[in-house]
Chain A
Amino acid sequence: MTKKLFKDRDDFWRLICGIIAILGFLLIWHFGTNGTRLGEIMPGPIVILKSFFEAFTQKTAGYTIFGHTFWSLSRVLVGYSVACVLGISLGLLMGRYRLAEAIFRPFYEMIRPIPPIAWISLAILWFGLGETMAYFIIFLSAFNNITINVFMGTKSINQELVGCAKMLGANEAQVFRTVVIPATIPYIFAGMQIGISSSWAAVVAAEMVRSSKGLGFLIVSGMDINNISQIFVGILAIGIVGFLLATIMRGVEGKLCQWNVRGK
């Protein structure tokens, strides 16, 4: 049975340990909030889980939890996709070509240390309170992480591999396509994974500023009406979606990077 479901015994035991750890955490949470002072400000896991499943059918501000998740996810995917395209392109260009590095790196290094949240005020003035503002904040938070990873990855390519391709008569376009891009793929995935986490953080922040739908809105409106369960439902949904996105990303990386220890 275990042989069919799991690659090896380690995978099986890892899953068992994970389940035990989560159950242990829920038990501690349950007894820690049951009839204690902590329970006055924090509901127990049973209440939260009940609210979470109720949110599947009950609407808050016109949407179920699926609707709010969809809105947040759609915002993330727009900002994140643009960040992936531009971040990967810029990272590859700056890493491979000195001229591109000389031109773009000073701008990038100035923008990189600024937390995305710090851009919110400017983004509201530039784009108003609509969707574009959220896309922009999400884009910035993912773009920084993706670009730096791809840039460092391109810089760290074994130059002997580049020399080897050149010796075989490869022109620059062939070197770029057959050596630079494949060698950078693990770094691209590393950047994309960090980027998706920071995108989730950014979407919540953007939705907290002003929005009428999305998981960030769900959390803020829960705070406004003093509904702690609703806040936890929003947090739980963010955690689950984040976990699913990371798992999908790891699966794709595993397929594309079988040659690499990370992708193994």
Chain B
Amino acid sequence: MSRGANIKAVNLTKKFGDLLVLDNMNFEVEAGELLCVVGPTGCGKTTFLNSLTNLYQITSGQILIDDEPVDLKKHNVSYIFQENSTMPWLTVEENIRFGLDIKKVAEKEKKERVEEFMEIVGLTPYRKFFPRQLSASMLQRVSIARAFATKPNLLLMDEPYAQLDIELRYKLEDELIKLWEATGTTVMFITHNIEEAVYLGRKILILTNKPTTVKTFLDNPLPRPRDIASEEFVKLRNQVTDLIKWW
């Protein structure tokens, strides 16, 4: 089981030229948390995630992973993008292996992890298939398996299910919960879908519109498996909706 990382943002600010996108954000995510980040469309959620990992250089402030400045070569971080990011020239099993090759994991362990995560996401029969031969949901499952196979301490997901139909989304949401429970990885899941945030998150971080600031953190104590039609679920969903609407 991988250990989740603790994330701390101190006065996180990001500007593109004169445009202030992230404004003095302060928050902390505990190790092993499944945090959903919601906010109005176009509020800068992706910028927020990219800034956390230095994919965008932040203008000022600090991001700490386990109390150290973020360093992708040192900290074990994985990222699942909204768009398909599987390598088209690699087969399913080679794609899942990709991160392990980069991290120079020992050959025996590599093989075991590829088999394990390929099995978990149900792609073992498709191991020799190339991405162009797979459906959208299968591609996203490859990305999920690749991300989890590296046993990251922090997994960042940028609206990974936004382009999938509702049935596949539910299926992959359940798969994510299963993997998170099994690995103990800290997960930050960005979504504009409030129902998805309430269904997945143990905590919900609500962002304001641009410039993006932290509006509030909500605890989500609903037991799993969660019933989206239950009174408590609907109540929490409405509460999040109101927080996004009335800012």
Asked if B132 and A261 make an inter-chain contact with CB atoms under 8 angstroms apart, the answer reads: yes
Asked if A163 and B55 make an inter-chain contact with CB atoms under 8 angstroms apart, the answer reads: yes
Say yes or no: is B87 at the interface (Cβ < 8 Å to chain A).
yes
**Measured between C-beta atoms, what is the minimum distance from A261 to chain B in Å?**
7
Between A166, A182, A185, the greatest number of chain B beta carbons within 10 A of the residue's beta carbon is seen for A166
- Partner of B87 from the list A161, A174, A257, A261 (CB cut-off 8 Å) is A161
**Proximity string of chain A (2-25) to chain B, C-beta cutoff 8 Å, 1 when within and 0 when not:** 000000000000000000000000
Asked if B73 and A171 make an inter-chain contact with CB atoms under 8 angstroms apart, the answer reads: yes
Residues of A close to B132: CB separation below 8 A? 259-261
Closest A residue to B129 by beta carbon equals A259
Asked if B130 and A258 make an inter-chain contact with CB atoms under 8 angstroms apart, the answer reads: yes
**Measured between C-beta atoms, what is the minimum distance from B80 to chain A in Å?**
9
Say yes or no: is B89 at the interface (Cβ < 8 Å to chain A).
yes
**Measured between C-beta atoms, what is the minimum distance from B123 to chain A in Å?**
16
**Measured between C-beta atoms, what is the minimum distance from B167 to chain A in Å?**
26
Between B55, B102, B130, B150, the greatest number of chain A beta carbons within 10 A of the residue's beta carbon is seen for B102
Asked if B73 and A160 make an inter-chain contact with CB atoms under 8 angstroms apart, the answer reads: no
Residues of B close to A171: CB separation below 8 A? 73
**Measured between C-beta atoms, what is the minimum distance from B83 to chain A in Å?**
6
Please measure, in the bound complex, the distance between the C-alpha atom of A174 and the C-alpha atom of B150, giving whole angstroms: 16
Number of interface residues of A (CB under 8 A): 23
Residues of A close to B101: CB separation below 8 A? 178
**Measured between C-beta atoms, what is the minimum distance from A74 to chain B in Å?**
33
> Contacts A165-B102, A168-B103, A174-B102; is A182 near B89 (CB within 8 Å)?
yes
**Measured between C-beta atoms, what is the minimum distance from A178 to chain B in Å?**
7
Number of interface residues of B (CB under 8 A): 26
Asked if B131 and A166 make an inter-chain contact with CB atoms under 8 angstroms apart, the answer reads: no
**Measured between C-beta atoms, what is the minimum distance from A36 to chain B in Å?**
53
Say yes or no: is B99 at the interface (Cβ < 8 Å to chain A).
yes
- Partner of A167 from the list B55, B83, B90 (CB cut-off 8 Å) is B55
Closest B residue to A181 by beta carbon equals B89
Please measure, in the bound complex, the distance between the C-alpha atom of A179 and the C-alpha atom of B85, giving whole angstroms: 11
Please measure, in the bound complex, the distance between the C-alpha atom of A258 and the C-alpha atom of B131, giving whole angstroms: 11
Say yes or no: is B47 at the interface (Cβ < 8 Å to chain A).
no
Asked if B99 and A168 make an inter-chain contact with CB atoms under 8 angstroms apart, the answer reads: yes
Asked if B73 and A168 make an inter-chain contact with CB atoms under 8 angstroms apart, the answer reads: no
Say yes or no: is B77 at the interface (Cβ < 8 Å to chain A).
yes
Say yes or no: is A170 at the interface (Cβ < 8 Å to chain B).
yes
Say yes or no: is A209 at the interface (Cβ < 8 Å to chain B).
no
What are 30 A-to-B residue pairs whose CB atoms are below 8 Å? A158-B85, A160-B81, A160-B83, A160-B85, A163-B55, A163-B79, A163-B81, A164-B79, A164-B85, A165-B98, A165-B102, A166-B55, A167-B53, A167-B77, A167-B78, A167-B79, A167-B156, A168-B103, A168-B150, A169-B73, A169-B76, A169-B77, A170-B102, A171-B73, A178-B101, A185-B89, A258-B130, A259-B91, A259-B132, A260-B88
Q: Interface on A for B, CB 8 Å cutoff?
A: 158, 160-161, 163-171, 174, 178-179, 182-183, 185, 257-261
7 more contacts with CB within 8 A, not counting A161-B87, A167-B72, A178-B87, are A160-B85, A164-B85, A167-B55, A168-B150, A169-B102, A182-B87, A182-B90
